[in-house]
């Protein structure tokens, strides 16, 4: 049995494709829990009219991704929980492939193969890597699908828009932090899971087609820049020890420098500064959460550093493949690899 938790905010135009693809699944033992985040469009009335059997949690206001999916998770009791964005379409055997993986692999959570909805030969993500400066990276993003990504294997983490979790793993790691509101909350969760030694398995056969940024309207705007800036610091404060913050200080500065250059290119300095201010305001609160989350079951610092280094190396290699395919150079990334990623 799978509880399929779908957050929705003003996504009435997306629901038919997403929900009909679930109803068409070859695997039938599922239940949909849709959490509407205070939509002002016709989402709620549409669901009640066309999908009355869907369990609908209609919230009075937009609480953000994290708080919404947490309510959906807590409303169910199935041993497996699938988090699914509303701007997705599932291949007909997707749920069966995920369930088979959960039966055969002793992993704690599972990443589906996400493909571009409009250009289906291109990947949207094949599991998550990690950038130690405080961000995630969906492996394979904008790369052509092929043999490299047809192999199921262990990866660092999963994108929260298409991930299967064992309910017990969610209990052990904890739910998503609502203070992130949106963006990087799954990066924070992946890091907390890694610190506890939890394992993610990428399921190449489980295909999900993803539109991307359908709720916010564009991939980069004032809203995404502000929250991405703030939440990158929240990721660090919530998951790094003081020693690790010092050890990775140069790496963090490098990442933030190039993020700033990107922000300037997008002419979003104002939202960036707002994000910095919010990060400074919330830093101490996140540090308290880090200290509260420390436990005897955490993996050792040496193993954690090795895990993070490998996750970043895989992300950097994916970025370089994408850039090479686009005819761009990689000398800066290669220099970074030599300086910071080779043991």
Mean pLDDT confidence for 252-274: 96
How far, CA to CA in Å, does 291 sit from each of 101, 239, 305, 331? 34, 9, 18, 39
Mean pLDDT confidence for 276-294: 95
* pLDDT value at 25 more than 90: yes
Task: Tell me the per-residue pLDDT of 186-214, one tens digit each, with 9 for 90 and over.
Answer: 999 999 999 999 999 999 999 999 998 65
Mean pLDDT confidence for 45-70: 96
Mean pLDDT confidence for 66-73: 98
Nearest to 168 by CA among 297, 85, 78: 78
* pLDDT value at 165 more than 70: yes
The percentage of residues in the chain with a pLDDT greater than 90, rounded to a whole number, is 94
* pLDDT value at 66 more than 70: yes
Every domain range in the chain assigned CATH 3.90.550.10: 2-210
pLDDT band at 342 (very low <50, low <70, confident <90, very high): confident
Mean pLDDT confidence for 56-83: 97
* pLDDT value at 106 more than 90: yes
Q: DSSP string covering 137-186, please?
A: EETTTTSBPSGGGSS-EEESB--TTEEEEEHHHHHHH----GGG-SSSHH
* pLDDT value at 279 more than 80: yes
Q: What is the pLDDT of residue 213?
A: 62
Nearest to 322 by CA among 80, 125, 73: 125
Q: What's the CATH number for 2-210? A: 3.90.550.10
pLDDT band at 296 (very low <50, low <70, confident <90, very high): low
Separation between Cα atoms, residue 73 and residue 167, nearest integer Å:
9
């Amino acid at each position: 049995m799978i509880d399929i938790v779908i957050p929705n905010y003003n996504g009435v135009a997306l629901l038919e494709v997403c929900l009909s693809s679930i109803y068409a699944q070859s695997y039938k033992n599922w239940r949909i829990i849709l959490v509407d985040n205070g939509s002002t469009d016709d989402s709620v009335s549409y669901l009640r009219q066309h999908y009355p059997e869907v369990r609908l949690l209609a919230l009075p206001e937009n609480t953000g991704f994290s708080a919404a999916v947490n309510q959906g998770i807590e409303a169910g009791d199935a041993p497996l929980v699938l988090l699914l964005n509303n701007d997705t379409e599932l291949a007909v055997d997707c749920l069966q492939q995920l369930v088979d993986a959960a039966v055969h692999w002793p992993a704690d959570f599972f990443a589906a193969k996400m493909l571009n909805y409009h250009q289906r030969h291109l990947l949207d993500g094949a599991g998550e890597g990690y950038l130690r400066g405080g961000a995630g990276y969906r492996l394979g993003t904008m790369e052509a699908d092929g043999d490299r990504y047809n192999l199921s294997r262990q990866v660092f983490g999963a994108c929260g828009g298409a991930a299967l979790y064992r309910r017990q793993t969610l209990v052990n790691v904890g739910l998503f932090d609502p203070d992130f509101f949106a963006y990087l909350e799954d990066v924070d969760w992946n890091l907390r899971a890694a610190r506890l030694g939890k394992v993610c398995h990428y399921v190449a056969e489980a295909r999900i087609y993803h539109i991307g940024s359908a709720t916010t309207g564009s991939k980069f705007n004032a809203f995404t820049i502000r929250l991405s800036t703030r939440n990158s610091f929240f990721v660090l404060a919530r998951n790094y020890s003081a020693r690790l913050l010092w050890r990775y200080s140069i790496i963090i500065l490098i990442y933030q420098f190039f993020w700033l250059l990107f922000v300037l290119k997008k002419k979003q300095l104002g939202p960036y500064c707002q994000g910095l201010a919010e990060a400074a305001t919330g830093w101490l609160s996140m540090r308290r959460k880090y200290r509260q989350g420390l436990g005897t079951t955490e993996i050792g610092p040496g193993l954690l550093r090795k895990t993070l280094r490998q996750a970043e190396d895989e992300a950097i290699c994916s970025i370089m493949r994408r850039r090479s395919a686009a005819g761009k150079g990689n000398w800066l990334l290669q220099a970074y690899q030599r300086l910071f990623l080779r043991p």
